[in-house]
């Protein structure tokens, strides 16, 4: 071919390489980068060969041409394997490189040793161009055999990839297959049918053009690399990297905005002695090193003029990896201000909501308790003999459980004791079912009347059950029902309505029994005068183990001074109230 064709191919190759450099990204196939570097050199060698005027310049150009022949097919094969996602063992790659280097070493012996060419001489073509006439030696045959092997392997792996339906665009595979088959055909048959015309530069130009389109297309399919590059360039997350000696490697603009001191750092500059990083980056990495694990912390930037402009960042530190090797540290800074403020707002709302619910709940509880107390008072108003009884017995129960909770030997919880105090006013609700003639009788009952009165315990349990059957507070329901039902049972089994004995009687009813009897003793009734504290105390103490649970004795003794003080305070009512005391 005339020199102008070679010159055109050389310029075309240079333009394609410039385009490749302009479009180059770090995830591009390194083998293709080598190809685009070598091709302009080889095309220039073809141009120089076509312009040679003497034997020496022709030999030098020819040796440069073989630089492409010895290495380009090898790198094309490696590129094809990588694009097809087929791995080549490192040892095999090394052996291939050694073989190519040895073959090219033989090329370099031309004119010195008969290893690659047995002989070589200069000849003149009819158009006055000169060529080298060669007599090939064995290494030259091996050279072609190796090229043949590279092409066969390349074609084979492309066909394999098409057959296995690997996630690679079919258009890319067919493009690679086309140029590889064409190149293989030229190597195999070109020497036989094409004389005195070097078609290899044209093939190189075609390959370079096709592979430029391939790498541009394939870069779109490197999803992870594209996403990472996009995140680094445009993400609101800051990135900072350091080596193991805490020398600065780089950061993105977001990180520099958050930590302005990064703007003054130079690559490879250590931050160990920099005060600007003492309370942030150095502390984060130090914590990570101490924990030797994935670490997170919070970084806050305060605005002294407006708290609303404060910024809150989540800090994550991890190792910096080069493949599988740990090479240093990477710091990720993520703006979490919106989420933190939202969480703070939600917390504030929840706190206010909890207070509101607690307030509403307390109002409902108070209303519930007042309704119960009102019902008990209404029932009590029908009884000429027990006025103020529910209020006084509730106070007595409170004093008893206060002493019980001090040592808690009985294992009662505070919630249980509170439920007992709330249930105390309900213990005589069953009297609503007792006939007025019996309930309001101004004197002692006959046996028949007393049997009628006894019905109030079981009836009270029934009424309490109906009142509280839909409540969510199951424990209060049980306590209130037991207090109403069993507060007249006795430890020795002589009580009513069921004649329960000992621990068969619920503990809440046993406590209620002491308060109920004590109030009956020290309070004036229509059928008796109030009893002195000493006499009432003697009766209560004598009843321990018979009427009352003896385990409650120490708590009654401890509560007695308070009980007497309380009844002293209502002494006027004990003496002066006509219907109740």
Query: CB within 8 A of 209, min separation 6: which ones?
Result: 16
Alpha helices per DSSP H over 309-444: 337-380, 389-407, 414-423, 436-439
Q: Is residue 572 scored above 70 in pLDDT?
A: no
Neighbour-count burial of 262, counting CB atoms closer than 10 A to its CB (0-12 exposed, 13-18 middle, 19+ buried): buried
Return the residue matching tokens 């201000």. Answer: 337
pLDDT digits (tens, 9 = 90+) for 396-440: 999 999 999 998 889 999 999 999 998 888 888 888 777 766 766
Please give the pLDDT value at position 573.
44
Domain locations along the chain: 3-222, 235-335, 357-576
Among the listed residues 133, 134, 156, the one whose alpha carbon sits nearest the alpha carbon of residue 81: 156
What mean pLDDT do residues 189-212 have?
75
Instruction: Return phi, psi of residue 383, to 5°.
Output: -105, 115
pLDDT above 90: percentage of residues in the chain: 24
- Quote the CA–CA distance of 481 and 469 in Å, as a whole number: 10
* 141-150, 167-176, 549-558, range with greatest mean pLDDT: 549-558
> Confidence class of residue 372 from pLDDT cuts 50, 70 and 90?
low
Q: Which CATH architecture has domain 357-576?
A: Orthogonal Bundle (1.10)
pLDDT, residue 561, reads: 94
Confidence of residue 297 (pLDDT cuts 50, 70, 90): low
Architecture of the domain spanning 3-222: Up-down Bundle (1.20)
Distances (CA, A) of 254 to 238, 251, 259, 551: 5, 8, 9, 74
Number of C-alpha atoms within 13 angstroms, CB side, residue 397? 28
Is 516's pLDDT higher than 50? yes
| CA-to-CA separations, 417 to 366, 411, 509, in angstroms, rounded | 17, 11, 12
Task: Report pLDDT digits (tens) over 443-460.
Answer: 677 788 888 888 888 988
Has residue 574 got a pLDDT over 50?
no
Matching CATH topology for 235-335 and 357-576?
no
**Stated pTM of the model:** 0.45
Separation between Cα atoms, residue 410 and residue 525, nearest integer Å:
34
520-559 per-position pLDDT tens digit: 899 876 666 788 999 999 999 999 999 999 999 999 999 9
**Worst-scoring range by mean pLDDT, 140-154, 210-224, 324-338?**
210-224
Give residues with Cβ within 8 angstroms of 279, minimum separation 6: none
pLDDT at 40: 92
Give the burial class of 529: count Cβ atoms within 10 A of its Cβ; 0-12 exposed, 13-18 middle, 19 or more buried.
Answer: exposed
Q: pLDDT at residue 140 above 80? A: yes
Average pLDDT of every residue of the chain? 81
Q: Poorest-confidence range of 287-291, 328-332, 383-387, 528-532?
A: 383-387
CATH number belonging to the domain at 235-335, selected among 3.10.129.10, 3.30.450.20, 3.30.870.10, 3.40.50.2300: 3.30.450.20
Per the CB < 8 A criterion, the answer to whether 392 and 577 are in contact is no
Residue with tokens 């592979």: 211
């Amino acid at each position: 071919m005339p020199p102008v064709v070679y010159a055109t191919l050389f310029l075309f190759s240079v333009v394609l390489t410039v385009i490749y450099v302009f479009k180059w990204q770090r995830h591009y196939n390194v083998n293709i980068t080598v190809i685009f570097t070598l091709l302009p050199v080889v095309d220039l060698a073809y141009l120089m060969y076509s312009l040679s005027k003497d034997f020496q310049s022709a030999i030098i150009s020819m040796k440069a041409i073989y630089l492409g022949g010895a290495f380009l097919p090898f790198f094309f094969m490696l590129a094809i394997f990588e694009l097809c996602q087929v791995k080549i063992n490192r040892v095999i790659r090394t052996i291939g490189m050694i073989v190519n280097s040895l073959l090219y070493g033989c090329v370099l012996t031309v004119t010195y040793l008969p290893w690659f060419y047995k002989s070589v001489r200069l000849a003149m073509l009819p158009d006055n161009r000169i060529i080298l006439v060669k007599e090939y030696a064995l290494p030259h045959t091996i050279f072609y055999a190796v090229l043949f092997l590279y092409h066969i392997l390349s074609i084979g792996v492309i066909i394999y990839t098409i057959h296995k339906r690997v996630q690679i665009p079919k258009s890319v595979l067919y493009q690679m297959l086309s140029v590889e088959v064409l190149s293989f055909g030229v190597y195999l048959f070109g020497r036989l049918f094409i004389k005195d015309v070097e078609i290899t530069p044209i093939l190189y130009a075609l390959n370079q053009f096709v592979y430029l389109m391939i790498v541009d297309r394939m870069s779109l399919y490197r999803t992870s690399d594209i996403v990472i590059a996009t995140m680094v360039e445009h993400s609101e997350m800051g990135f900072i990297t350091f080596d193991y000696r805490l020398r600065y490697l780089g950061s993105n603009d977001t990180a520099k905005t958050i930590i302005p001191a990064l703007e003054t750092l130079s690559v490879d500059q250590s931050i160990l002695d920099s005060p600007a990083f003492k309370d942030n980056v150095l502390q984060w990495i130090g914590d990570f090193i101490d924990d030797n694990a994935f670490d997170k912390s919070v970084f806050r930037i305060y605005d002294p003029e407006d708290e609303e402009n404060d910024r809150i960042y989540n800090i994550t530190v991890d190792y910096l990896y080069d493949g599988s090797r740990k090479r240093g540290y990477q710091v990720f800074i993520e703006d979490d201000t919106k989420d933190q403020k939202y969480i703070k707002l939600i917390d504030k709302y929840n706190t206010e909501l909890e207070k509101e619910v607690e307030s509403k709940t307390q109002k409902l509880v108070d209303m519930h308790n007042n309704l119960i107390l009102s019902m008990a008072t209404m029932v009590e108003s029908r009884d000429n003999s027990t006025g103020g009884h529910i209020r006084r017995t509730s106070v007595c129960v409170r004093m008893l459980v206060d002493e019980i909770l001090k040592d808690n030997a009985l294992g009662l919880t505070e919630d249980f004791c509170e439920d007992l105090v709330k249930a105390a006013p309900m213990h005589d609700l069953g009297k609503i079912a007792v006939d007025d003639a019996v309930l309001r009788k101004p004197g002692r009952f006959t046996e028949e009347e007393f049997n009628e009165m006894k019905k109030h315990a079981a009836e009270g349990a029934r009424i309490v059950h109906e009142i509280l059957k839909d409540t969510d507070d199951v424990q209060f329901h049980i306590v209130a029902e037991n207090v109403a039902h069993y507060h007249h049972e006795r430890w020795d089994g002589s009580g009513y309505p069921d004649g329960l004995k000992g621990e068969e009687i619920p503990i809440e009813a046993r406590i209620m029994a002491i308060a109920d009897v004590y109030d009956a003793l020290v309070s004036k009734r229509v059928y008796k005068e109030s009893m002195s504290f000493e006499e009432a105390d003697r009766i209560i103490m004598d009843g321990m183990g018979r009427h009352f649970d003896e385990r409650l004795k120490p708590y009654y003794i401890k509560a007695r001074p308070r009980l007497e003080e309380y009844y002293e305070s209502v002494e006027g009512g004990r003496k002066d109230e006509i219907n109740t005391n």
